[in-house]
Amino acid sequence: MKVASSNEIRLLDKEAVEKYGISHEILMENAGAAVARLILHTASEEDTVAVIAGPGNNGGDGLVCARHLASHGMDVHVYLVADPERLSELVKKNLDRVALANIPVEKVTEKNVEELQDVLPFYDVIVDALFGTGLTRPLEGVYKEAVEAINDSGSLVVSVDIPSGINSDTGEVMGTAVKADFTVTFGLPKIGLLLYPGAEYAGEILVSHISYPRSLIEDDRIKVETNDPLYPPPRQPDTHKGDYGKALFIAGSKRYYGAPMLASRSFLKAGGGYSRLATVSSIVPFLAIRAPEVVYEELEETSSGTISYRNLEKILKLTEASDIVAIGPGIGLDDETARLVLELIPRINKPLIIDGDGLTILARDTTILSTRKYPTVITPHPGEMSRLTGKPIEEIKKSRLKTALEVAQKLGSYVVLKGAHTVIATPEGKAYINLTGNPGMATAGSGDVLVGAIAGMYGIGYGFEEAVRMGVFVHGLAGDLAAESIGMDGLTAVSIMNFLPRAMKELRENFERIYNENSLPVLV
Ligand SMILES: NC(=O)C1=CN([C@@H]2O[C@H](COP(=O)(O)OP(=O)(O)OC[C@H]3O[C@@H](n4cnc5c(N)ncnc54)[C@H](OP(=O)(O)O)[C@@H]3O)[C@@H](O)[C@H]2O)[C@@H](O)CC1
Ligand SMILES: Nc1ncnc2c1ncn2[C@@H]1O[C@H](COP(=O)(O)OP(=O)(O)O)[C@@H](O)[C@H]1O
Ligand SMILES: [K+]
């Protein structure tokens, strides 16, 4: 599903009115009615409802919702946090309708806003219609106090379009924000609902298309989408291991055994056919016990136990017999090894995954990617992205989507910016926000498993872009299945790896359910 910025949703809004003849009034009516429907499905008609309406169209939606709930016989009160004189004509019209329907309306100002703390707990349901995509600055004064009263109420909170206080483009909290149980968002989901902390404040998100024409819903001018799964390529009977990809992992060092094992074995666990690990000879005997299915290519090592530069020609030869190459997990930062990595990246004439220390090394000279003729994907966590861009981690965390898109475009490479709701960006300027995964995956080695998963998806036959997307999707799905089975705390990278087969099985046998469980539900 497409995911819109506030500017894009305003453009769609404008075109819905000007090109498709759908009036703002119809859109507002459909929006308010959608929120009412969710409440009628979720609460009971005996419940009492407080609608907290703000100064703009978001408030207008709330007024429409109030009218629909009242017409179902619910006991609804409207608290208007706005100067009625400054309301737009359409919102005023809906305020008049509310008054004419004898729905009590109380004006909230600095003088009486603290009363909200006392009255809101008595309502079963609170509709948060203060602000939506029109939020332009941090909440202060009466608005801030209203939000805090909503959050302190203990009632069921339903946010209109976006939790008030959440920035619809970045997901950051603007001063304060409503913590919603549900958010009904209109037209298309907003970016700020899918990036943290916005994703956490939104609660369960439901989309209502409010009669937008399909062509607007699927408009290619919108470059961000949820990372919805694609059905896997079939495994034909008459095939052999080579048909499911030959992967080469250039990884590991005396210090880091786990990373190379996790990456090279996860490739097989995700369905890949033939996994080769080129690593320092001193750790091969140990790895062979843990990962007997992986074929080992022993490399000469430096005095610090990392891969020596002397292996350059041998490694290039190995890449010629591979379909996809991954470089970096646990490779270390020894200068000689760094020199080898910087020499290899432009000379590997295969699709390439660069991860872990490989990224820290790449940060020394990202221009080496520009000569590559084959697709590249880099898989940084925010720390590695900070080294690649020179931006502080905090800034990256606040602008994950923007940073991923900028770097993808600048480096001509796919970017997987890892974290809660990983962002995938393409060199062509598209981005996908991944919805699988859980905090149990914040565990050492989890990123190494992702490298294998991406390579595995390419091995089983997805195109490169699809393999990057599906690698992230199944990695998160495996993490979710693992968490379901053993909980989040004890979940380790090996658990994620061991649930990759189950994730693939679920994807093949229960695709519809997996799809629905990991995409945004449309409210009908
Ligand atoms: N797009 C669609 O398809 C549809 C959209 N619809 C609805 O419209 C909503 C967008 O409406 P909107 O543009 O009127 O803005 P909204 O969020 O109501 O804010 C109101 C005003 O508040 C102000 N303001 C801003 N920040 C502030 C602050 N911190 N503290 C105080 N004031 C602040 C700012 O005015 P300013 O003060 O900046 O002049 C702003 O104009 C959208 O979320 C959806 O619910 C539906 O009707 C269905 C169709
Ligand atoms: N809170 C979270 N929710 C969902 N996924 C997460 C969360 N924290 C981490 N992950 C995932 O776990 C992996 C962590 O990778 P990384 O940071 O490279 O760990 P390591 O370097 O230890 O392998 C990434 O795929 C990331 O998306
Ligand atoms: K809102």
Pocket test for ligand 2, best of 256, 443, 446 (most atoms within 8 A of CB): 446
State how far the Cα of 18 lies from the Cα of 5, in Å rounded to an integer. 20
- Answer whether 451 contacts ligand 2 (Cβ < 6 A): no
**Tokens linked to 188:** 């298309």
| Pairing status of strand 75-80 against strand 48-53 | parallel
Same structural domain for residues 189 and 251? no
In a domain, 165, yes or no: yes
Residues 6+ apart with CB under 8 A from 512: none
Same structural domain for residues 485 and 426? yes
Same structural domain for residues 18 and 156? yes
State how far the Cα of 348 lies from the Cα of 367, in Å rounded to an integer. 15
Residue ending a domain, choose from 222, 257, 292: 222
Instruction: Determine the longest span between alpha carbons in the chain, in angstroms.
Output: 85
Same structural domain for residues 216 and 273? no
**Which residues form the pocket of ligand 1, taking CB atoms under 6 Å from any ligand atom?**
9, 13, 27-28, 31, 54-61, 131-139, 143, 160-161, 186-187, 210
**CA angle, residues 67, 72, 77, in degrees to nearest 5:** 45
**Tokens linked to 351:** 């699709």
Query: Where do we find the tokens 């925010």?
Result: 382
pLDDT tier at 5, thresholds 50, 70, 90: very high
**CA angle, residues 492, 423, 470, in degrees to nearest 5:** 70
CA–centroid distance, residue 445 to ligand 2 (Å): 9
User: Model confidence over 17-33: pLDDT tens digits?
Assistant: 999 999 999 999 999 99
Please give the sequence-ordered ranges of beta strands (E in DSSP) within 143-270, or none if there are none: 156-160, 182-186, 204-208, 224-226, 246-250
User: Model confidence over 335-382: pLDDT tens digits?
Assistant: 999 999 999 999 999 999 999 999 999 999 999 999 999 999 999 999
CA–centroid distance, residue 162 to ligand 3 (Å): 5
State how far the Cα of 467 lies from the Cα of 360, in Å rounded to an integer. 23
Same structural domain for residues 403 and 323? yes
pLDDT tier at 484, thresholds 50, 70, 90: very high
Residue ending a domain, choose from 222, 256, 281: 222
Three-class SS state of 19:
coil
The answer to whether 119 touches 91, Cβ cutoff 8 Å, is no
Boundaries of domain holding 50: 6-222
Residues 6+ apart with CB under 8 A from 236: 243
Same structural domain for residues 208 and 251? no
Same structural domain for residues 359 and 420? yes
- Give just the sign of the alpha carbon dihedral 488, 492, 496, 498: negative
Nearest CA residue ID for atom 47, ligand 1: 28
CATH of the domain at 14: 3.40.50.10260
Predicted pLDDT of residue 376: 98
State how far the Cα of 50 lies from the Cα of 255, in Å rounded to an integer. 60
ipTM of the complex: 0.96
Ligand 2 nearest atom to the CA of residue 446, by list position: 23
Residues 6+ apart with CB under 8 A from 513: 506
State how far the Cα of 41 lies from the Cα of 156, in Å rounded to an integer. 13
State how far the Cα of 175 lies from the Cα of 110, in Å rounded to an integer. 18
Predicted pLDDT of residue 325: 98
Task: Examine the pLDDT at 300 and tell me if it is beyond 90.
Answer: yes
User: Model confidence over 239-288: pLDDT tens digits?
Assistant: 888 889 999 999 999 999 999 999 999 999 999 999 999 999 999 999 99
Domain count for the chain: 2
| Pairing status of strand 125-129 against strand 105-107 | unpaired
Residue ending a domain, choose from 178, 207, 222: 222
Phi and psi at 271, nearest 5°, equal 120, -5
Predicted pLDDT of residue 171: 96
CA–centroid distance, residue 57 to ligand 1 (Å): 6
Spell out the alpha helix ranges (H) of 51-178: 57-71, 89-100, 115-119, 141-152
Same structural domain for residues 94 and 58? yes
Spell out the alpha helix ranges (H) of 414-462: 446-459
Phi and psi at 160, nearest 5°, equal -90, 115
User: Model confidence over 371-387: pLDDT tens digits?
Assistant: 999 999 999 999 999 99
Pocket test for ligand 1, best of 161, 167, 184 (most atoms within 8 A of CB): 161
Ligand nearest to the CA of 216: 1
In a domain, 236, yes or no: no
Predicted pLDDT of residue 310: 98
Query: Where do we find the tokens 């819903």?
Result: 217
**Tokens linked to 482:** 């693992």
- Dihedral angle, C-alpha 501, 503, 505, 508, nearest 10 °: -140
Pocket test for ligand 1, best of 25, 51, 58 (most atoms within 8 A of CB): 58
The answer to whether 32 touches 62, Cβ cutoff 8 Å, is yes
State how far the Cα of 37 lies from the Cα of 405, in Å rounded to an integer. 37
Predicted pLDDT of residue 49: 98
User: Model confidence over 184-232: pLDDT tens digits?
Assistant: 999 999 999 999 999 999 999 999 999 999 999 999 999 999 999 999 9
Q: What is the DSSP code (8-state) at residue 371?
A: G
In a domain, 517, yes or no: no
Predicted pLDDT of residue 428: 98
Task: Examine the pLDDT at 313 and tell me if it is beyond 90.
Answer: yes
In a domain, 389, yes or no: yes
**Tokens linked to 107:** 């004006």
Same structural domain for residues 300 and 386? yes
Q: Within 13 Å, how many C-alpha atoms sit on residue 487's CB side?
A: 2
Cross-strand pairs, 354: 327, 378
Same structural domain for residues 218 and 251? no
In a domain, 386, yes or no: yes
Residues 6+ apart with CB under 8 A from 436: 227, 472, 473, 474, 475, 476, 477, 479, 480, 518
Q: By 3-state DSSP, what share of the chain in percent is helix, strand and coil, each rounded to 5?
A: 45, 15, 35
User: Model confidence over 160-180: pLDDT tens digits?
Assistant: 999 999 999 999 999 999 999
Nearest CA residue ID for atom 2, ligand 1: 13
In a domain, 113, yes or no: yes
In a domain, 1, yes or no: no
Please give the average per-residue pLDDT across 483-509, as a whole number. Answer: 98
Same structural domain for residues 279 and 165? no
CATH of the domain at 434: 3.40.1190.20
Same structural domain for residues 202 and 259? no
Ligand nearest to the CA of 358: 2
Q: Does 438 show up as a binding residue in the annotation?
A: no
